[in-house]
Structure 1
Amino acid sequence: MLQRSLIAKIFLVSFLSVHVPLIALILHLLFGFETSPVPVFALILAATLIGTAICLFAIWRFIRPLHHLAVALKKYPEDKSVLKIQSSGNDEIAIVTDVTKSMLMQVEELTKKLKHQATTDFLTGLANRRWLTEQVPGLQSQAERANEPLSVILFDLDNFKHINDDYGHDVGDNVLMIVGEVVKDSLRPYDLAARIGGEEFCIVLPRTSGESALKIAERLRAAFQASYVEPLPHGRITCSFGVVQAGPGERLQQLLRRADTALYRAKDAGRNRVIGAFVEKNP
């Protein structure tokens, strides 16, 4: 009971500390020491100071874990060390510490899920436009510092509206999921891929020249055409691609506009093809 109750421990220590002078006086008299006022007063004063010190030290030891918890909670937004605090004992502070850690862990998990939902397209499992917009400027800056190329592939499904109209939205959703799986299986760990519109997708390829990006886009085009979703006929899943290589200081929106122009050239040329739009370099 005493180990599980902080209040009981504080009451016990306080009770004993308050009675230290009385205990000292009783022992003094029992052992027949001098009973004149000065020695007795000195004894009581010393015993009072000792009792007070013992009481303060014991209470400080009892509430020190609460102090550590409060400091860790104050730093929580920048420092997650509160999640590593180990509770000792079974008293109220230990319970508060364990419950606080449990609640914060739940908050962390919920935050991760919400962040994932906010930045991920639920249907394809790829990132969404918001996440891509946040990530690309950093990649462009890194590429410019390292003097490395960076390319963008923009593509969308050919006649996707006809699939929804003729076969239903469930089939259309299955097509989008297949596209997402093909993209995830085809890219390198540091490549970025996002669904940025209904049937429109964007892939950002660090350390990749425009020529290499064309080859990657062609492999994706062939992989999409080889994919099959019932009840669509074989070869029905096709995409048109626009490929560009980023120029110095070129923003994402400028890249997307150039890639979009190339994509519509692919559409006009008969769909299911890859077209690049590259800025000529000065000699």
Structure 2
Amino acid sequence: MKIYRLFNKLSRPRSYAGRILLICFFGTHVPLITFVLWILLANPSLGGEHWDDLLVLLLATLAGTGLTFLLVNGMLAPVRVVARALGDYRQNKQVPALPRGLSDEAGYMLEQVQDAIEELDLTLTNLARAAETDPLTEVGNRRWLVSRAEEQIARAQRNQSPICAILFDLDRFKAINDQHGHAKGDAVLVGVARFVKSGLQSSHLFARTGGEEFCIVLPNTPLNGAVEVARRIQEGLATRSIARLTPGLVTASFGVVERDPDERDLSALLRRADDLLYQAKNDGRNQVATSALA
């Protein structure tokens, strides 16, 4: 890197290709021109007889310089392609398609950069997915839900379309853990998540928001539609054997709300849904509570 740093201090030429060409010029043309000048100085009488030859030599030197510049510039294309690929990935997360199968050092560089970007992109994708996924149930977590729901709420506000939230909490889950062990409790959470997810539409947002609490956000859905979804889940849980437990042992209480026109974020919906959820708990559990039925 010492030689590179030395040439990098030059104010001219600024381009990498220009500096490579400068090295080529000094390495080939300067010795040739020096030799010609030395011959002329040593034999002044030759000058007049060979001006045409010298002119041809000069033109050939200039033509060679131009051709060398074009070829050097072309040979440096991998450096530019790699720099552009790294910049595009850094700014836009765009994975390049660099050429493979080239046998020299530049080809090796292209392959290594391509592999490095692909591996980095896969790692970042997995990390992002892990950061937004509940590791036990493999559904979204609160962070994921908030980011996706905020987008849907903003869209609902623009389009003046309905959007609802269902918040539900498993009943007497601590008793299940105490009587059957935490492994069984985990199996219950996984079973509930799978059952609920299997009955939702692709547009619905489903997440485990903490402990034994889950949330569903339903874009383009009025309150009566959300209540229907909640009741279907409530009845399904109450009549199924979840994690091989006795049917009816795993139940849930639900709070269902529709976004008010002045609500601009998910937290406002969840506060109202949470109040209704605990109303359902206080009224005997295993039921759906909502502010109004359409």
Indicate the residue corresponding to 1:263 in structure 2.
277
Q: Secondary structure of the residue that 2:275 maps to in structure 1?
A: helix
Counterparts of residues 176-255 of structure 1 (less than 5 Å) = 176-230=189-243, 232-250=245-263, 251-255=265-269
Cα shift at 1:18: 8.2
The amino acid that maps onto 2:80 is H
Shift of 1:64: 1.5
Check if 1:63 corresponds to 2:76.
Answer: yes
* Alignment match of 2:177 (pick from 148, 164, 171): 164
* Matching residue of 1:5: none
Aligned-CA RMSD value:
2.8
Task: Write the distance in 2 (CA, Å) between the matches of 1:229 and 1:267.
Answer: 20
Q: Cα 1:105–1:55, aligned 2, differ >3 Å: closer, same or farther?
A: same
1:30-68 CA distances to partner (integer Å, 9 max, x unpaired)?
A: xxxxx9221121121112112222222221111112112
Measure, in 1, the Cα distance between the counterparts of 2:239 and 2:113.
53
Q: Which residue of 2 aligns with 1:140?
A: 153
CA shift digits 1:103-159 (9 cap, x unpaired): 110111111110011001011111111111122222112112222111110001000
Cα distance in 1 between the residues matched to 2:31 and 2:181: 83
Number of the residue aligned with 2:45: none
Runs of 4+, deviation exceeding 6 Å: 14-19
**CA–CA distance in structure 2, aligned partners of residues 210 and 119 of structure 1:** 27
Structure 1 pair 98–197 and aligned structure 2 pair: CA distance change class (3 A): same
Distance 2:289 2:31 in 1: 89
Letter in 1 for 2:106: I
Question: In 1, distance between residues paired with 2:224 and 2:293?
Answer: 12
Corresponding residue number in structure 1 for 2:53: 40
Q: Which amino acid aligns with 1:269?
A: D
**1:17 Cα offset (Å):** 12
With over 3 angstroms needed to count, the CA separation of the structure-2 counterparts of 1:243 and 1:81, relative to structure 1, is: closer
- AA partner of residue 252 (structure 1): L
- Range that drifts further, 190-199 or 87-96: 87-96
In 1, Cα distance between the equivalents of 2:65 and 2:262?
70
- 2:109 is matched with 96
Question: What is the CA–CA distance in structure 2 between the aligned matches of 1:16 and 1:48, rounded to whole Å?
Answer: 7
SS in 1 for 2:217: strand
Seq. identity, %: 36
Q: Measure the CA separation in 2 of the matches of 1:151 and 1:230.
A: 29
Instruction: Give the length in aligned residue pairs.
Output: 259
Report if aligned partners of 1:17, 1:54 keep a CA contact under 8 Å in 2: no
For 1:3, the equivalent position in structure 2 comes to none
Task: Name the TM-score, length of structure 2 as normaliser.
Answer: 0.80
Write the letter of the residue equivalent to 2:209.
I
Distance in 2 separating the partners of 1:180 and 1:188? 14
Query: How far apart are the structure 1 equivalents of 2:247 and 2:230?
Result: 20
Q: Which ranges in structure 1 are unaligned for 5 or more consecutive residues?
A: 1-9, 23-34
Shift of the 278–93 alpha-carbon distance from structure 1 to 2, 3 Å rule, reads farther
CA distance in 1, matches of 2:94, 2:55: 48
Deviation at 1:76, TM superposition (A): 2.1
Contact 2:238 2:250 (8 Å CA) reproduced:
yes
Moved more, 63-72 or 264-273: 63-72
> Normalized against structure 1, the TM-score is what?
0.83
Aligned CA distance change for structure 1 residues 266 and 53 (closer, same or farther; 3 Å): same
CA contact (8 A) 2:238 2:248 kept: yes
Q: Is the Cα–Cα contact under 8 Å of residues 178 and 227 in structure 1 kept in the other structure?
A: no
Select between 214-223 and 246-255 the one with higher mean Cα deviation: 246-255
